[in-house]
């Protein structure tokens, strides 16, 4: 079995800027797990554990799913719940294009029996996960909430293998779809 998901990768300079922001969040008294810069990405679709045969079917189905290249601006820091965050993330400005790609991927994978997400899709870059909340986290988020991390032209996505280890997840690229 292979644990897989689909994501858009980020340019190195954007990941470096997000890492600077992690330092500000680290000064709060909340207990946080930070996403390592090499692992930062925009998840398009989490699939989960699949057999080899299904993995091949996913590869074939994704061949046909693309978009026209589009601009993504990474701007602002927010959270899944601004009063008591569990996930701190950065927001995207992309005129809804990433959401459109997410929908197209779900459409292509549904015939394989891969379920659609029940929750509405909110494209984001996870920066930190909250292990233990502390109110000082809200002030730390406020300090960085207007930060701009830069923009880039999205023209590909990647099918990734995820291996969970004690040191955190390890991601490997299995396939890249370039538009
Ligand atoms: O990009 P984010 O951080 O939103 O949280 C995991 C991460 O999302 C999510 O898939 C992305 C790559 O690991 N993920 C992990 N397990 C999941 C699950 N069981 C999951 N998403 C939905 N259901």
Gap from CA of 120 to ligand 1 centroid (Å): 14
Which among 9, 18, 12 is positioned nearest to 148, based on CA atoms?
18
pLDDT computed for residue 64 by the predictor: 84
**CATH code (residue 139):** 3.90.1140.10
Q: What is the pLDDT of residue 66?
A: 84
Establish whether residue 126 lines the binding site of ligand 1, counting it when its CB lies within 6 angstroms of any ligand atom.
yes
Q: Is the CB of 5 under 6 A from ligand 1?
A: yes
What is the pLDDT, as a whole number, of residue 137? 98
Predicted pLDDT of residue 129 = 98
Which pLDDT value is given to residue 179? 86
Label residue 57 left, alpha or beta by phi (over 0 means left) and psi (-120 to 50 means alpha): alpha
> What's the domain range around 165?
2-178
Other Cβ atoms closer than 10 A to 57: 17
Question: Atom 14 in ligand 1: which residue has the minimum CA distance?
Answer: 46
- Residue 135 CA to its chain's centroid (Å): 25
Which residue's CA is minimally distant from atom 23 of ligand 1? 46
Mean pLDDT for each consecutive 10-residue tract of the chain (179 residues)?
Answer: 98 98 98 98 98 98 91 97 96 96 97 95 97 98 97 98 95 96
Pairwise CA distance, residues 134 & 153, whole Å: 37
Distance between CA 106 and CA 96 in Å, rounded?
A: 16
Ligand 1 probe mutation, 1, 3, 5, most atoms within 8 A of CB: 5
Structural domains in the chain (count):
1
**What pLDDT sits at residue 67?**
86
């Amino acid at each position: 079995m292979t644990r897989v998901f689909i994501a858009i990768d980020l340019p190195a300079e954007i990941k470096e800027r997000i890492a600077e922001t992690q330092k500000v969040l680290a000064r709060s008294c909340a207990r946080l797990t930070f996403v390592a810069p090499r692992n930062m990405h925009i998840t398009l679709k989490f699939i989960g554990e699949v057999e080899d045969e299904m993995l091949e079917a996913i590869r074939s189905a994704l061949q046909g799913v693309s978009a026209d290249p589009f601009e993504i601006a990474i701007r602002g820091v927010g959270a899944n719940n601004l009063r008591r965050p569990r996930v701190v993330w950065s927001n995207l400005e992309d005129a809804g294009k990433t959401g459109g790609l997410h929908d197209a991927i779900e459409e292509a994978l549904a015939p394989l029996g891969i379920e659609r997400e029940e929750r509405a899709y909110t494209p984001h870059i996870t920066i930190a996960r909250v292990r233990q909340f502390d109110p000082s986290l809200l002030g730390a988020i406020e300090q960085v909430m207007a930060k701009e991390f830069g923009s880039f032209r999205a023209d590909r996505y990647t099918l990734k293998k995820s291996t969970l280890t004690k040191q955190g997840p390890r991601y490997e690229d299995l396939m890249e779809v370039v538009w």
